[in-house]
Structure 1
Amino acid sequence: MTTTRETPVRLTQFAHGGGCACKIPPGELEDVLGGLAAPMTTTTDTPLLVGLATGDDAAVVTLPADGGAPTQAVVSTADFFTPVVDDPYDWGRIAAANALSDVYAMGGRPVLAVNLLAWPRDVLPFDLAREVLRGGLDIATEAGCHVGGGHSVDDPEPKYGMAVTGLADPTRLLRNDAGRPGVPLSLTKPLGLGVLNNRHKATGERFEQAVATMVALNRDASAAAVAAGATCATDITGFGFLGHLHKLARASGVTAVVDTAAVPYLDGAREAVRDGYVSGGTRRNLEWVAPFTDFGDTDADTRLLLADAQTSGGLLVAGEVPGAPVVGELVLRREHSVVLS
């Protein structure tokens, strides 16, 4: 299941956190962003379809059309984080796939990305930074997305990601506020990335199944969801499955009922929780969602896995996606936004 591979530099040792687990906690972030939505003027010819209001995965504006309804929307996002794995090329691939995922989570296709790089130039050699950028370029190329430069700064802690621009049909967006009662919930990647990454950081063990999952694009799942007529989705990253599901349910005015036995996990994830490789970000996620969640008789380890801070996780789609397990359904609003069964 695991192998140990010696690397000259363990990049994860230069980061206080790892991957999306280094995000600002969701409760604190919502406090900061409260009331900051910019008022829109009536003269703009690029209406904002998706902004700060529901904490969706990306911002969306429509392009002006010559008469009739707009037929094109621009999707914009940015995502970067500290090293989640020691291998610089893998970190670049993971960070790029994660940034592109925000566009896929909106039902769009990425067309242009620019790199965001922070590097401790007096501590880590630049040949490692080159490998990080090469990994990002390879994933963007796989996605059919141009990389047109970027921005770099000297920073005591290495960070990498991308700002991404995509295109979408404004009438076929995937939004986190479009869930409706009676619709099933599909999850396109297994959970457990956070605890496996945390174990990797602590021990140096390499989990190939985790790397393969993180570098896999959400492109096909997004296209399948849109083709199936889905209108609601989000991607599972730093706030964990429960956190992102809570945001979706809250924005949509519904309750999500989760069949915990149907949720898939990566090999080794439960063992990592058992052995204590749980990040502070995951524990903060669980604390944040607890007031909004009916846990029933779900055991403590499963609760942690459901709140596990994912990096480049899958899509959670309100609708059926071919090949993806159905893990629950949306129902009429109840006392809690999420109910585990």
Structure 2
Amino acid sequence: MSAAPASPIRLTELARGGGCACKIPPGELEDVVAGLRGTDPGDDLLVGLDDGDDAAVVRIANGQAVVMTTDFFTPVVDDPYDFGRVAAANALSDVYAMGGTPLVAVNLLAWPRDVLPMEVAAQVLQGGFDVAREAGCHVAGGHSIDDAEPKYGMAVTGLADPDRLLRNDAGEAGLPLTLTKPLGTGVLNSRHKQTGEVFAQAIASMTALNRDASVAALAAGVRAATDVTGFGLLGHLLKLVRASGVDAELDAAAVPYLDGARQALADGYVSGGTRRNLDWVRPHLSASVDEDELLLLADAQTSGGLLVVGELPGHPVIGRLVARAGDGPHVAVR
């Protein structure tokens, strides 16, 4: 942990929330899109709205599929270059979570031009460009608007093998659950927003690409995965088990956390998004751990890791999928 930045501009002060904690609550979002389901135009749309997967996937010619996603949010850190890096890594993650390779991205920028110099926006865009370049993904233009709150992200198009996708509806009972990044960015980002403290470990985690984990999952024959972002580990796990028709058992002691995350929780830096995540999951939850542990498991992550149904060398196994025991999805936390 280092001292607060010397710059007088604090991007996080210009936004009501930050990062993926700004997502519309999962229950409300599902109600909004419910009427759009069932309108898929034919068999070539391999992944659409039905299970709330990480990206849309459409089969094209020559044994390939196009993966399409978009993601943008308000600042999660004060440094504009790091904000761009985090937002780009987060947007690219949805392609990796489907087992795809990013091909081209376009920028999405909302900027309070009467409040923040455009030179600062240029730093945000540079951060996004540099992460996309690290991913081997072209950046070609985009769209910008004048807005009261700064927001940045990308729309990303990638390619995948339609027969080797990572989906959230392909989980099978008996398989282990692996997590490829530690949790805790939500509470650390909340602390950063309120105090200005900078957490290098959180920035390093949020800007790390999920590329290697995706490649390793495909090489291991994994068929089911999702990334862990604004709905927290519990929220994304619930979506996976619901879509797959199974239940899950989670070993809370096996879940890794970033340094400082537990202290940030103890000091009260919990976002409203995290509490809404836990409220949404609770009817499907049984737990022998305390409320603080559940809040960490529901912590709204920004640019989190992959939750993989299978084992990946070098990453912790945190639970397993089990056969559906009742009428609805259930997650047991021990």
TM-score range normalised by the length of the shorter chain = over 0.9
Q: Secondary structure at the match of 1:129?
A: helix
| CA distance in structure 1 between the aligned counterparts of 2:325 and 2:110, rounded to whole angstroms | 44
Q: 1:239 to 1:41 in 2, by over 3 A?
A: closer
Whether the aligned pair in 1 keeps the contact of 2:40 and 2:48 (CA below 8 Å) is no
| CA distance in structure 2 between the aligned counterparts of 1:37 and 1:189, rounded to whole angstroms | 32
Match of 1:72 in 2: 64
State the shift of 1:39 in Å: 2.3
- Once the two structures are superposed, what CA deviation does each residue of 1:126-172 show, in whole Å capped at 9, x if it has no partner? 01100000000000000000000000001111100000000000010
Match of 1:265 in 2: 257
Question: Are 1:63 and 2:60 matched, yes or no?
Answer: yes
State the shift of 1:7 in Å: 1.8
Q: Secondary structure at the match of 1:57?
A: coil
State the shift of 1:38 in Å: 5.2
State the shift of 1:25 in Å: 0.5
- In structure 2, the gaps of 5 or more residues are none
Match of 1:151 in 2: 143
Q: 1:210 to 1:87 in 2, by over 3 A?
A: same
Question: Structure 2 counterpart of 1:35, which letter?
Answer: G
| CA distance in structure 2 between the aligned counterparts of 1:84 and 1:40, rounded to whole angstroms | 35
Match of 2:229 in 1: 237
Match of 1:50 in 2: 47
Whether the aligned pair in 2 keeps the contact of 1:3 and 1:207 (CA below 8 Å) is no
Whether the aligned pair in 1 keeps the contact of 2:104 and 2:158 (CA below 8 Å) is yes
Whether the aligned pair in 2 keeps the contact of 1:58 and 1:76 (CA below 8 Å) is yes
Q: Secondary structure at the match of 1:250?
A: helix
Runs of 4+ deviating beyond 3 Å: none
Q: TM-score, normalised by structure 2?
A: 0.98
Match of 1:282 in 2: 274
Whether the aligned pair in 1 keeps the contact of 2:98 and 2:225 (CA below 8 Å) is yes
Whether the aligned pair in 1 keeps the contact of 2:250 and 2:333 (CA below 8 Å) is yes
Match of 1:92 in 2: 84
- Aligned counterpart for 2:294 among listed residues 286, 299, 303: 303
Question: Structure 2 counterpart of 1:195, which letter?
Answer: V
Q: How many residues of Structure 1 are paired with residues of Structure 2 in the alignment?
A: 332
Q: TM-score, normalised by structure 1?
A: 0.96
State the shift of 1:77 in Å: 0.2
Whether the aligned pair in 2 keeps the contact of 1:112 and 1:145 (CA below 8 Å) is yes
Report the aligned-residue RMSD: 1.0
- Aligned counterpart for 2:178 among listed residues 173, 186, 194: 186
Match of 2:117 in 1: 125
Q: Percent identity?
A: 70
- Once the two structures are superposed, what CA deviation does each residue of 1:203-261 show, in whole Å capped at 9, x if it has no partner? 00000000000000000000000000000000000000000000000000001100111
Question: Are 1:137 and 2:129 matched, yes or no?
Answer: yes
State the shift of 1:313 in Å: 0.2
Whether the aligned pair in 1 keeps the contact of 2:99 and 2:214 (CA below 8 Å) is yes
Q: 1:53 to 1:41 in 2, by over 3 A?
A: closer
- Once the two structures are superposed, what CA deviation does each residue of 1:273-292 show, in whole Å capped at 9, x if it has no partner? 00000000000000000001
